[in-house]
Amino acid sequence: MTRTKIDIPLPSLTGRRAVVTGGSDGVGLRIATRLAMAGAEVVLPVRNVRKGESAAAAVRASVPGARIELHDLDLSSLASIASFGEAMRRDGRPLHLLINNAGVMTPPSRQATTDGFELQFGTNHLGHFALVAHLLPVLRAGAGRVTSQVSIAVSRGGINWNDLQWQRSYDGMRAYRQSKIALGLFACELDRRSADAGWGITSNLSHPGVAPTSLLSARPEMGRAADTAAVRAIRWASARGLAGTPETASLPALYAATSPDAAPRRLYGPRGIGHVGGAPAEQPLYRTLRKRDDAARMWAVSEELTETAFVGP
């Protein structure tokens, strides 16, 4: 079956600096490559240096002369996040784009971050919350746009307020949904607080649809020795045009982060049937992300847990 190639144009990003988390493979690597093609200087903060070097080499092979900068970053460690933020602030150059793309999904048993948080909540949400707090001065200097990658799974579920760390009743998928709902609530609240405080940054959301990526593949370090049945089914569907591809999955975040038509506090995802694939388009904000009280509560909890605060330049 021949698929029609789906793509979007990007504006010139010459002179712009971008950070992409989770940029060493999959959707994140495609995002980083496209940003470099558009002229951006791309910062790849990576946990695995060897993997990061391979990713940087791949970008340079696709984009001769690409400006790629590697840094150490482990989003499951608050100390690592603080160190990366300090390095970026010390460098002092403005940051124009931040794409919060990295994530982990459904370890079969509960795992914890370096700081004792449930792995998905700690990495997908708290890690990015702390990251933005530490990068706030350089984001303000660049009038930056922050795009946070949520998930189609956010369309249902909720926040387990009575057991945020899933210590009493761990359920991998419910914990994953919570982590992405929390990230989405943060993205909305970040834009509101920036507007109120005059920070000069904007924040929106994207989701990649459904595509075969490494999220559900074998991950021995997460206790998953083999590919899940879900990722095998997604590969089958993608090959038949019934789901997205890694290429189409990268487009909503690229559109949300770079298009002059992408608005703050809006959600962008694939426009195809079921929003699993296709070209990017604005979509209604998920019900789970609409409560301002939940967003303010999650912000306060996140500040307390990460011991970070959003302060002046």
How far is it, in rounded angstroms, from Cα 255 to Cα 262?
A: 7
Q: How many CA atoms lie within 13 A of 118 on its CB side?
A: 27
Which amino acid makes up residue 1?
A: M
Helix or strand run (H / E) with residue 100: strand 97-100
Look at residue 205 and give its three-state secondary structure.
strand
Give backbone dihedrals phi and psi of 98, rounded to 5 degrees, phi first.
-130, 120
Q: Is 170 a catalytic residue?
A: no
Give backbone dihedrals phi and psi of 222, rounded to 5 degrees, phi first.
-105, 10
Look at residue 282 and give its three-state secondary structure.
strand
From edge to edge, which strands make up the β-sheet containing 41-46?
68-72, 41-46, 17-20, 97-100, 145-149, 202-206, 267-270, 280-283
Contact assessment for residue 96 and residue 16, using Cβ atoms and an 8 Å cutoff: yes
Ramachandran sector of residue 116 (left: φ over 0; alpha: ψ -120 to 50; beta: rest): left
Contact assessment for residue 280 and residue 208, using Cβ atoms and an 8 Å cutoff: no
Contact assessment for residue 66 and residue 286, using Cβ atoms and an 8 Å cutoff: no
Beta bridge partners of 112: 118
Q: Closest by alpha carbon to 154, among 261, 255, 290, 47?
A: 290
Q: Which of 170, 176, 255, 268 is catalytic?
A: 176
How far is it, in rounded angstroms, from Cα 81 to Cα 84?
A: 5
Between strands 145-149 and 97-100, the pairing is: parallel
Tokens of 296: 């303010």
Catalytic machinery residues? 176
